[in-house]
Structure 1
Amino acid sequence: MAFETTASGKWTRAGIAAIALGALGVPAIGALAMPAEEAAATASADAPLTEEQKAESKALFSQFACGSCHALAEAGGTGHIGPEFDGNEGLDKAYIVNIVNNGQGAMPSFGGMIDEAQIDQLATYIVQVKK
């Protein structure tokens, strides 16, 4: 995108308008894409895990010591450093996947340490078993 300036280097109205239109387009594109992503995350979070998948997820929760920071009664987690999963109505699968992959604050990133399929299953497990 070319930005128009005057000979003195000042922005012209056309240059400013081009930047403004570009800035408006980015959120609009994101807004159109989000409902499909959220629907996919919600749909897979709603599909009940098998007993084997629950056991695998519980073992993963234990293996990576999630319960030392997070309370999740079903998995034996009693931590109080991070957010409690039990009773946390605002906690959804997409949020969990993002934070486990990328970390946030005191929470380290586990992306690369746990494969994406396991993170996805763990997030589904947490959403399904939190009380």
Structure 2
Amino acid sequence: MQLKKSSPIDLSREYPCPCRRRGQLKPIILTDAFGCDRCQQIFVVAQSGRVIEQLATTYPYERSWRWTGNRWIVKRPPPSKYYLSLFGILALLILIAGLSIWRSGFTHIFLPVLVVLLVIVPAFAIWLSYR
């Protein structure tokens, strides 16, 4: 996959809205911000003029986009440093619990539960973190 370079954002130009296809981002005079004429959202220019961030969102992270010269590309937040270690500890605890169940002779009942806990739950949590 080829990454497109980001272009500088001109504060005197109009751009298409990254949220909706038909809206236009229009510059707000005397600020480093744009307003959409359709969805009424305000976007500020950040990171040396190559990225816009949406203001007043209800998302847990800032929604931001970079301009490629002809369209907006969503800029994803970096994954947390602690996710991998958290999932490693969780898998280790589940493995220890599974081994203790294995020794007790209830493998025919708890083996499917162990597979779900070791595979599906961490995969779902990783999927949620990158979403």
Higher strand share: 2
Question: Which structure shows the higher helix fraction?
Answer: 1
Instruction: Assess same fold via TM > 0.5.
Output: no
TM-score (norm 2): 0.29
